[in-house]
Structure 1
Amino acid sequence: MYDLVIKNGKIVSGTGEKSFIADVAIKDKSIVKIAPDLEDGVKNIDAGGLVVSPGFIDMHTHSDIAFIQDETCGSKLFQGVTTELAGCCGFSYYPSDDAGFERLKSYTEEKEYIRYVSKSLGEFVQKTEAMNKSINWGTYVGHGALRASIVGFGDVKATPEQIEAMKALLDVALSEGAFGLSLGIAYAPGMFCDTDELVELSKVVAKHGKIVTSHIRNENVAVFEAIEEMIEIGRASKAHVHISHLKLGYGSWHKTEELFDIIESSRAEGVNLTIEQYPYNASSTGLTAVLPNWVHEGGIDKILERFRDQRDEVIKGIEGSNSFEMGLDRVMVVSTGGFMPEADGKNIREISQMLGKSEAETVIYLLENTACTVPTIRFTMDDEDVLKIMSRKDCAVISDGSAYNIDPEKMSFKPHPRNYGTFPRFLKLNRQHQLMSLEDAVYKMTGLPAQNVHLENRGILKEGNYADITIFDYDKIEDTAVFNHSISKPIGVEYVIVNGKIAIDQGKLTSERSGEMLLQKS
């Protein structure tokens, strides 16, 4: 007898192929039969009028320790996400050599969880594998972690010996099961590397047949130059390169055709270039992004030192930045970590008026009183551009967020709504704007990301694959999380099944914690 049978659902396979009505039978962790009129299982779900799709795959997250912080991972599970990949934008909790281990620990913002910083992916797995997980979890190797460990936080060119040391650590991590290399070259210490360093590291990734994802150097006025750098890395290394959270920020609005031409021409010459996007007009990053690059050299202690000793130069740099030109009224503080709670949810211009300080002084004031830890939401994009990028079938849907608790009482801050609403929001926008067929929309959230990261036996509904399944009402599904009320679960997701176990049952969280740590062996 089958363990579970999903009856009468609209099967959207994740391949982009036409949907059909059938039953899905599950035994243990696997899909064992897809056909009409199957016999009953130990448990049955009536999916009449609902879409039965693969569980959504979020291939770009910051859930590096989310399952440690909150095993329910509710903000993602309620969206229909069954698999997350962390270690993005150059950050990961590993690896390092012996000499660089303390530097790697200093790279970790969440000091409460510093004990999970590890010298290898294998060590990180050992520290965390016994912990309950509601969804599947995999990780990339962060270039920032490699550089922090081997080179440090200085604005210096890596020596040939240092590059070889980074390559050796990377090679081991990829062999242990990391899904690829992530770059965060808009952030320190990654911003201090040159293209040659990235080409050399990407050659290691190419040898393993894996992916290089990148938060590129600039997503605003110099976005096209930054994309060209990624194309050159792919060209020179032969690695699969992937642009994280593709966007046209302030200074490059309404240039989607130029953007698409660059993508298509690179592919035509043989570069394996793929893309992803979250369906919002605002990004989220730390307030330190407003600072000029030179201020970041040496890490947080050096930044704070420059606030004291070179304050006028720092202020001048802030006032000459792209962020300042855009307007700091577009930069909203998420949390000051309790330092100035009345500033939470307000933009820098509003806070500067509250304090009676200039906007640049306000930036410094907040950073120097929070150890440079002020998450922000930045309204940098144009809605028309967002929709045009979203309408591409080859653009994976990602959250760029973390898995948080769904209970507002258990959250100390209000994060970007993408943490709670990304996938239902995309489906709602697709329905409202008729961007593409339902089958293609589901492909962007399932089969495509699985294909991008070579995730085997997931992302497609077919016999023999793992039973990661999301069941939703396409006519009703939508996000409810908004910028001033982000901790809010979406509607329309009725069931979520992870490795054959029901994690969301008729819209309610169950006690099942059946997620697994995914390792991709080379």
Structure 2
Amino acid sequence: MAYDLVIRGGTLVDGSGGAGFVADVAVRDGRIVKIGQITGEATQTVDATGRVVAPGFIDPHTHYDAQLSWDPLVTPTAWHGVTTTVIGNCGVGLAPCRPDTRERALWDLINVEAMSREVLEAGIDWQWESFGEFMAATLGRGSAINLGFLVPLSPLRTYALGEAASERAATAAETETLCGLLGDALSAGALGFSSSQQPNHVGYNGTPLASRLTSNDEFAAYARTVGKHGRGGIEIAVTKKLAHLQDEDVALLELLCEQSGRPVTWLTLLDLNSSPGCAFAAVERAGHLTARGCYPQTVVRPFMAEADVRNPFMFAPLPAWKAAFNQPVEVQKALYADTAFRRTFRADMAEGRSLVRDWNHFELLSADNPDLQPLLGRTVADIAAERGADPCDTFLDLAIADDVNTRFRVAVANSDEANLARMLTDPRIRIGLGDGGAHVDMLCEAGYTTYLLGYWVRERKLMSLERAVQRITSEAAGLFGIRERGLLKEGYFADIVVFDPATVGSDRRPHLVADLPAGGKRMIAEARGVDCTIVNGRLVFDHGRHTGALPGVAVN
């Protein structure tokens, strides 16, 4: 019997958590048709001797909605053995969108995803208005990997309510209209919906993202709409205080579970350096919901971000910083020099309102001003002590002296590896949060799949290879109820990765490149040890080289 593809002689780690075993895998018409000893002929053969053959990894949390307009390879996520990714998370996206609200959608992306206006204007082609048209346009351009399309509530609510979406909840009549729009998107193949409650998610001119104004009555109606379709799930950045789960947050998760009957995944679970142990407290509060398919996501590396005050995303929760968003450099410099602004900033930092409030965790990373070059690599706390100045003033003085081009490396969370190891092995927590396409000038967690296998499995021996693969395949698929993917199983879609367990990995820290449209910059993480990535039975990446195939489809 002839096959399209046979992978021979590899150790199969099938995503179930069971022990690996040596076998061949045969593929025909995009699906796995046989696992075992394969004797038939094949159009294409992959020799996997000495390699691990696993289900393609599934990244449940990315923001490639805009990038897919110019990057069908979905980089850097797809370099790391990922064959399916979910976009449209955190209530942020590009559809549905009327022509007269494109400006607002762009500023949402600029503020939340840290892309420049020049990049977005050069890269986005706006071949859609409805969500179904957005899906069709994205898939029509081709994608190297499969895409799960979440309907983000911010553009959805803006489509129906206009500017009022960032000011108030929807009325009962408006909610009915919104449910109709959501239902249309689900019928077109969307995977579910997403939202955000987080105060650092600000949009146009520093106003709240429209999803943050969603009422519980709305949430209940949207959840019921997803439930009626009987597939997919819900993602929500639920913590109004980052990484701290409050009673109202738990109540909202319970409502979403009850009204939808579908999986719910929530953010953001981090062990904040400023609040050690907060992640475990959050898990304890919501642990009872795992029985209903409700899981948080976390990252696998110490959470370091690169930040500046040109796009002051890190300080978005502080009201005084609202005036800094989307302003010319000279306006920002005047604001940062203002005595009243500095007084408020110092008070906010002293009272712990900022995500990171210890100036020992802010390191001066880069500056254009030659006078600042000797300070690179030093912390703001150290520089302030040397100057005999307040750290808040020193931080702002450094920015002003460099025309707000200074960049800082900030240690945000997960710096305690013992606590991070506990999180990665806790069955109530899921591994994900790659965030590809978002915060592109600040961070890149897109290499988490290969980092997990290289650092935590091979070097630290925190968990077995089989358990790690399960964490990033079948468990990740379960976050949205993605069907017939995440396992090596006869009849399932042939999404497969072949990797070298002796070399697989990625760097602890990403690096900055200028490969976006209009010369824009982003952080990337490169993969090591990934031999082949197969999507729907077609070889997409062969030892890091794209084969030209773009077989990705919408998953649900």
TM-score of the two chains, using structure 2 as the length reference: 0.77
CA deviation after TM superposition for structure 1 residue 425, in Å: 0.8
Partner of 1:398: 432
Partner of 2:357: 326
Partner of 1:83: 84
Q: 2:26, 2:32 within 8 Å by CA — same for their partners in 1?
A: yes
Partner of 2:117: none
Matches within 5 A, 1:6-25: 6-25=7-26
- Matched residues in 2 for 1:199 and 1:402: separation? 29
SS at match of 1:418: coil
SS at match of 1:52: strand
Partner of 1:361: 396
Partner of 1:172: 184
Residue 473 in structure 1 maps to residue 506 in structure 2: no
Q: 2:423, 2:429 within 8 Å by CA — same for their partners in 1?
A: yes
Q: Please list the CA deviations of residues 231-283 of structure 1 after superposition, one character each: whole Å capped at 9, or x if unmatched.
A: 34335534532113522324431255433322333346xx4412222212216
CA deviation after TM superposition for structure 1 residue 4, in Å: 1.8
Q: 2:76, 2:526 within 8 Å by CA — same for their partners in 1?
A: yes
- Matched residues in 2 for 1:164 and 1:334: separation? 50
Q: 2:505, 2:528 within 8 Å by CA — same for their partners in 1?
A: yes
CA deviation after TM superposition for structure 1 residue 61, in Å: 0.8
CA deviation after TM superposition for structure 1 residue 470, in Å: 0.4
Residue 288 in structure 1 maps to residue 313 in structure 2: yes
Partner of 1:430: 457
Partner of 1:111: 121
- Matched residues in 1 for 2:233 and 2:398: separation? 36
Residue 442 in structure 1 maps to residue 452 in structure 2: no
CA deviation after TM superposition for structure 1 residue 414, in Å: 6.5
CA deviation after TM superposition for structure 1 residue 151, in Å: 5.1
Partner of 2:534: 497
CA deviation after TM superposition for structure 1 residue 136, in Å: 1.7
SS at match of 1:242: strand
Q: 1:8, 1:21 within 8 Å by CA — same for their partners in 2?
A: yes
Matches within 5 A, 1:39-118: 39-96=40-97, 103-109=104-110, 110-116=120-126, 118=128
Equivalent residue letter for 2:67:
A
2:294 to 257, 260, 273: 273
Residues 1:39 and 1:366: Cα distance change in structure 2 (over 3 Å): farther
Partner of 1:130: 140
CA deviation after TM superposition for structure 1 residue 491, in Å: 1.9
Q: Please list the CA deviations of residues 451-491 of structure 1 after superposition, one character each: whole Å capped at 9, or x if unmatched.
A: 22222222111122221110112233221352557645222
Q: 1:297, 1:303 within 8 Å by CA — same for their partners in 2?
A: no
Residues 1:394 and 1:114: Cα distance change in structure 2 (over 3 Å): same
Q: 1:10, 1:20 within 8 Å by CA — same for their partners in 2?
A: yes
Q: 2:83, 2:146 within 8 Å by CA — same for their partners in 1?
A: yes
SS at match of 2:505: coil
2:264 to 219, 236, 241: 241
CA deviation after TM superposition for structure 1 residue 387, in Å: 1.6
SS at match of 2:553: coil
Partner of 1:452: 479
Residues 1:215 and 1:376: Cα distance change in structure 2 (over 3 Å): farther
CA deviation after TM superposition for structure 1 residue 326, in Å: 2.2
Q: 1:306, 1:314 within 8 Å by CA — same for their partners in 2?
A: no
Partner of 1:28: 29
Residue 215 in structure 1 maps to residue 215 in structure 2: no
CA deviation after TM superposition for structure 1 residue 334, in Å: 8.8
Q: Please list the CA deviations of residues 5-40 of structure 1 after superposition, one character each: whole Å capped at 9, or x if unmatched.
A: 111111111122332211001223222211124334
CA deviation after TM superposition for structure 1 residue 141, in Å: 1.1
- Matched residues in 2 for 1:117 and 1:233: separation? 36
Partner of 1:408: none
CA deviation after TM superposition for structure 1 residue 64, in Å: 1.6
Q: 2:268, 2:296 within 8 Å by CA — same for their partners in 1?
A: yes
Equivalent residue letter for 1:501:
R
SS at match of 1:140: strand
Q: Please list the CA deviations of residues 312-368 of structure 1 after superposition, one character each: whole Å capped at 9, or x if unmatched.
A: 5554443304337622553579999x999x89x979839997999825636985999
- Matched residues in 2 for 1:265 and 1:193: separation? 25
Equivalent residue letter for 1:136:
N
CA deviation after TM superposition for structure 1 residue 290, in Å: 0.6
Identity %: 23
Partner of 1:410: none
Matches within 5 A, 1:193-232: 193-209=214-230, 210-218=232-240, 220=242, 222-225=244-247, 227-232=249-254
1:254 to 277, 288, 297: 277
SS at match of 1:115: coil
- Matched residues in 1 for 2:437 and 2:326: separation? 29
SS at match of 1:388: helix
Residues 1:384 and 1:364: Cα distance change in structure 2 (over 3 Å): same
Residues 1:52 and 1:254: Cα distance change in structure 2 (over 3 Å): same
CA deviation after TM superposition for structure 1 residue 50, in Å: 1.4
Equivalent residue letter for 2:36:
A
Q: Which segment is superposed worse, 494-503 or 356-365?
A: 356-365
- Matched residues in 2 for 1:297 and 1:472: separation? 46
Residues 1:303 and 1:393: Cα distance change in structure 2 (over 3 Å): farther
Q: 2:538, 2:551 within 8 Å by CA — same for their partners in 1?
A: no
Partner of 2:413: 380
Q: Which segment is superposed worse, 22-31 or 234-243?
A: 234-243
- Matched residues in 2 for 1:324 and 1:170: separation? 33
CA deviation after TM superposition for structure 1 residue 94, in Å: 0.5
Equivalent residue letter for 2:39:
L
- Matched residues in 2 for 1:316 and 1:197: separation? 39
Q: Please list the CA deviations of residues 355-393 of structure 1 after superposition, one character each: whole Å capped at 9, or x if unmatched.
A: 9982563698599969xx999865233333322111134
Residues 1:164 and 1:515: Cα distance change in structure 2 (over 3 Å): same
- Matched residues in 1 for 2:176 and 2:383: separation? 47
Equivalent residue letter for 2:28:
K
- Matched residues in 2 for 1:225 and 1:396: separation? 21
CA deviation after TM superposition for structure 1 residue 132, in Å: 3.4
Q: 1:5, 1:44 within 8 Å by CA — same for their partners in 2?
A: yes
Residues 1:105 and 1:432: Cα distance change in structure 2 (over 3 Å): closer
Equivalent residue letter for 1:77:
A
Q: Could you list the runs of 5+ residues in structure 2 that have no partner in the other structure?
A: 111-119, 203-208, 513-522
Q: Which segment is superposed worse, 184-193 or 461-470?
A: 184-193
Q: 2:135, 2:149 within 8 Å by CA — same for their partners in 1?
A: no
Residues 1:201 and 1:42: Cα distance change in structure 2 (over 3 Å): closer
- Matched residues in 2 for 1:152 and 1:418: separation? 33
Equivalent residue letter for 1:63:
Y
- Matched residues in 1 for 2:252 and 2:408: separation? 27
- Matched residues in 1 for 2:508 and 2:496: separation? 23
Q: 1:62, 1:400 within 8 Å by CA — same for their partners in 2?
A: no
